[in-house]
Amino acid sequence: MAKIKLTKNELKHQKDALKRFHRFLPMLLLKKRQLQIEIMRIRRDLGETRSELHHHLQSIEPWIAVLVGEAEPCDLIQPSNEIIGRDNVAGVELPRLEEVQFAVVRYDLFLQPLWLDAALEALKKVASLDLQMEILARQESLISQELEVTSQRVNLFERVRIPETVRNIQKLRTFLGDQDTAAVVRGKMSKRKRSLAPQDS
């Protein structure tokens, strides 16, 4: 705890600081709540995306045996461009996957099996979902970091700064009240001494 000056100016400074803390604390609590809601949304989206990815992987599982020995569909399709947007949630810049573009290598339709087109579409979906999972994991990491910092600030205000400032104000009020009382007592004693002193005529 920093040493405070026992003056009226310091009392005003402490009262102003307390007002500031009470003004900022609700904003920090609101930000903390928004971050908590956002992290729950991200985790829900992660679960849904993970489930969808698992479903698509199961749907292409029967083709895996067929793919062995054939031209690898993965060689025919590669993500060429990822369009990443930005969202701002409670002051945190979050990446958002807008679109994944794929470069498809041209292949001879007569030489490749009929199911290759469906396999390529399924692989595009799997690659998109995998990238979406990465983006959501990054969002979760960013929000978690900001939530930790915001929680620390809320705790600092609630548990340290506000109680410390209230104690300082009480201490200053007590000290200044005692000073005022002592000044009044000294004034009365001085007046009494003057009234009892022999008067020169």
Q: Please check whether residue 187 lies inside any domain of the structure.
A: no
Number of domains in the chain: 1
Of the segments 118-122, 172-176, 194-198, which one has the largest average pLDDT value?
Answer: 172-176
For the segment 65-94, the average pLDDT, to the nearest whole number, is: 75
- Check pLDDT > 90 for residue 50: yes
What is the rounded distance in angstroms from the CA atom of residue 20 to the CA atom of residue 153?
14
CATH of the domain at 164: 1.10.287.3240
Q: Please check whether residue 158 lies inside any domain of the structure.
A: yes
pLDDT at 68: 56
Q: Please check whether residue 199 lies inside any domain of the structure.
A: no
pLDDT at 107: 67
pLDDT at 108: 67
Q: Please check whether residue 48 lies inside any domain of the structure.
A: yes
Q: Which of 39-48, 72-81, 116-125, 166-175 has the lowest mean pLDDT?
A: 72-81
